[in-house]
Amino acid sequence: MNLPRRYAIGTFGLTAIGTLLLPLANPLKRIAQTNLSAKSAIEPRRLQIGDTVALINPAAFNYEKEVQPFFKVLDNLGLKVKLGEHFYDRYGYLAGKDADRAADVNTAFADDEVQAIFTGMGGWGCNRILPLLDYNIIRNNPKIIIGFSDITALLLAIYAKTNIVTFHGPLGVSSWSPFTVNYLKKVLFDGGPVTLQNSQSVPFQTIGRGTARGKLIGGNLSVIAAMVGSAYLPEWEKSILFVEEVGEEVYRIDRMLTQLKLAGILDRISGFIFGQCTKCDAEKPQESLTLAQVLSDHIRPLKIPAWYGSMVGHIREQFTLPIGKEVEIDANSGTIKLS
Catalytic residue annotation: 149, 244, 314
- 7 burial level (CB within 10 Å; 0-12, 13-18, 19+): buried
Q: Give the DSSP letter string of 83-144.
A: E-TTTT--BTTBSS-HHHHHHHHHHHHH-TTEEEEEE---SS-HHHHGGGS-HHHHHHS--E
- Please give the single-letter amino acid code of residue 16: A
14 in Cβ contact with 198 (< 8 Å): no
Residue spans of beta strands (DSSP E) within 199-270:
205-208, 211-220, 240-246
How many angstroms separate the CA atoms of 193 and 119, rounded?
A: 26
Angstrom CA distances, 204 to 98, 307, 312, 336, 338, stand at 39, 7, 12, 13, 19
Three-state secondary-structure class, residue 314: coil
Q: 335: how many CB neighbours lie within 10 A of its CB?
A: 18
User: Which residue type is seen at 8?
Assistant: A
Cα gap 140→136, rounded to integer Å: 6
Strand residue runs (E) in the chain: 31-32, 52-56, 80-83, 114-119, 144-147, 166-168, 194-197, 205-208, 211-220, 240-246, 271-278, 306-308, 321-323, 326-330, 335-338
SS3 53: strand
